[in-house]
Amino acid sequence: MRPLSFFPLLVLASTLCACSGGGDAHAPSASAPALAAAPQQAVASLPADEVGTPLSEGWRTHAGHVDIGIQVGGEELFYTPGDGALLPVVAREASVLLIGNNLKWAGTSGPDAAVLRPSRDTFDFRSADVLVDWAEHNGMKIRAHVLVWGEDVPAWLANGSFTRDELLQILHEHIATVVGRYKGRIRAWDVVNEAFDWNGEYKDTFWLRKLGPEYIEIAFRWAHEADPAALLFLNEDGTEALGAGSDRFLQQVQALLAKGTPIHGVGLETHVDLEYRTLGGNTVADPVSLAANIRRLGALGLQVSLSEVDVRIPLPATAQGLATQAAVYAALYDACASEAACTGFHLWGITDKWSWIPRTFEGLGAALPLDQAYAPKPAYSAVLQALRANTDRCLDWGARQYAGIVRPATAPSAVFDGYYYRHFTETGNYAGVRDGMLYYWDPADMAGPLAVMSLADCQQAARAVP
């Protein structure tokens, strides 16, 4: 780290940075939000908070055109003993909090069987409220899962004898109440989850049987009414890569769009093994095929996210397994970052301690980048390297743009005070990123640093350069 003259510039940059509000993230507020009363089960209080501007580099430093999301399932926090280590890590690494289970109608199994809607007339928002307050306080975007899914239907609904009209009413109440409660706060919703099978045909679910295929379109319309600014996603597994199933899925999405359904994005779950095999039969989300599929969904005007990434490996994990896993993680990120339409790289958790894989797939696990004790595995560093490479392309591009330089010699990128920056030795200029913005310094012009543009725009522009 050096040069001395850089220090005052960075101090100035911190000031500027606070003013700019860090791109479209919310600036952290001054005091911690009050925690809600005990949710469904005994609650451990959430860690008193911490983050604000991270002083060290986390994945989040590089969240630009691709947001970095981490799923929190709720069970880590709301059952005794709560795991106080989790949220600070999530805030350091992720620009998006994914609320994984606490807004499901009913938890599906295991220790996370929380119930959002224990009866037709009651909703229990306590745990979701805590998470939403926490994410906002930490300047994070929020994505929530899920409004309509075949697998989280509570018993009172599944076993009730409701007419079709009553069910429509119940669904409307649900979407209006849940989306409405967080209007303007939850930026993206998984509106419909796993509605298609691995051939791209309608999956036989409670909702299909009771309401017919139009439930999908209806749910999106009601969600859009409840929060017109929210980004609405159709979330799917088994259709990640090119193939007959995803061809058919693409047609289904086109048909929904042709009807004017307010779908803004598709989530590709991307739960894979070391050979990129997804949950979906024999489909393989190899990175080339995945990128091509993202591109054709993007051509429909949709955003795409890799929405539930994890990479399961046979237990006990070997060094070879962990190394291969690291390469798979990096390649998945690269496939996403290489496509303009891909706006989210979202992991289904961050630590093996809480992963759903070992309790769902016998003999498999160790699927996430931190181990059970929160120590980084090779996958953690591999993702960081891939993120840095993406930001480096932006920094090179930025230095050329703002100094009229063709390609200056550079010192390696470094981290200081939350900035990830490069020093362009030929000109003496610096370009750096922090809080989602690209900053640029020209030591000859002491009015700098300048907040030049969002990191998202910079990464997109750099990505387009051959």
Tell me which residues are annotated as active site.
194, 308
In the complex, minimum distance from the CB of residue 151 to ligand XIL, in angstroms, rounded to a whole number? 7
Q: Which 227-266 residues touch ligand XIL, going by CB under 6 A?
A: none
Q: Compare residues 145 and 187 and give the one whose CB is closer to ligand XIL.
A: 145
How far is residue 459's CA from residue 438's CA, in Å, rounded to a whole number?
A: 10
Say if CB 462 and CB 396 are below 8 A apart. Answer: yes
Question: Is 20 or 108 the residue whose CB approaches ligand XIL more closely?
Answer: 108
The residue nearest ligand XIL at its CB is: 356
Among 57, 67, 197, 269, binds ligand XIL (CB under 6 A): 269
Find, among 296, 241, 250, 309, the residue nearest to 66 by Cα: 309
Q: Which amino acid is at 238?
A: G
Half-sphere exposure of 460 (CA within 13 A, CB side): 15
Closest distance between ligand XIL and the C-beta of residue 132, in Å? Answer: 18
- Quote the least distance from Cβ 107 to ligand XIL, whole Å: 6
Q: Is 308 in the site for ligand XIL (CB under 6 A)?
A: yes
Q: Please, what is the minimum distance in Å from the beta carbon of residue 306 to ligand XIL?
A: 13
Q: How far is 435 from 60, CA to CA, in rounded Å?
A: 8
Which is closer to ligand XIL, CB of 77 or CB of 458? 77
Measured CA distances, 279 to 236, 268, 309 (Å): 10, 11, 11
Q: Site residues for ligand XIL, window 383-422 (CB under 6 A)?
A: none
Binding mask 137-156 for ligand XIL (x = CB under 6 A): --------x-----------
Shortest Cβ 225–ligand XIL spacing (Å): 24
Q: Which is nearer to ligand XIL, 110 or 376 (CB)?
A: 110
**Using alpha carbons only, what angle is made at residue 324 by residues 322 and 326, rounded to the nearest 5 degrees?**
70
Is position 207 an interface residue for ligand XIL (rule: CB under 6 A)? Answer: no
Q: How far is the CB of 456 from ligand XIL (least distance, A)?
A: 26
The partner residues of 221 in beta bridges, in order of sequence, read none
Please answer whether residues 311 and 274 qualify as being in contact, where contact means their C-beta atoms are separated by less than 8 angstroms: yes
From the CB of 110, what's the least distance to ligand XIL, in Å? 5
The residue (of 145 and 422) whose beta carbon lies closer to ligand XIL is 145
DSSP string, 425-459: TTTTEEEEEETTEEEEEETTEEEEEEEEEEHHHHH
8 A C-beta contact, residue 425 and residue 412: no
466 Cβ neighbours under 8 A, 6+ residues apart: none
Amino acid at 336: C
Q: What is the CA radius of gyration of the chain?
A: 22
- Residue 356 or 439: the one with the smaller Cβ distance to ligand XIL is 356
Whichever of 67 and 269 has its CB closer to ligand XIL, that residue is: 269
**Number of shown-chain residues binding ligand XIL (CB under 6 A):** 12
Question: Which residues in 192-203 are b (16+ Cβ under 10 Å) and which e?
Answer: bbbbbbbbbebb
Range 51-71 burial, b when 16+ CB lie within 10 A, else e:
bbebeebbbbbbbbbbbbbbb
Candidates 40, 95, 138, 193; binder of ligand XIL (CB under 6 A) is 193
Buried b / exposed e across 138-171, counting CB within 10 Å, b at 16+? bbbbbbbbbbbbbebbbeebeeeeeeeeebbeeb
Residues 343-382 that bind ligand XIL (CB under 6 A): 356
Of 63-122, binders to ligand XIL (CB under 6 A) are 73, 100-101, 108-110, 112
Contact residues for ligand XIL, defined by CB under 6 A:
73, 100-101, 108-110, 112, 145, 193, 269, 308, 356
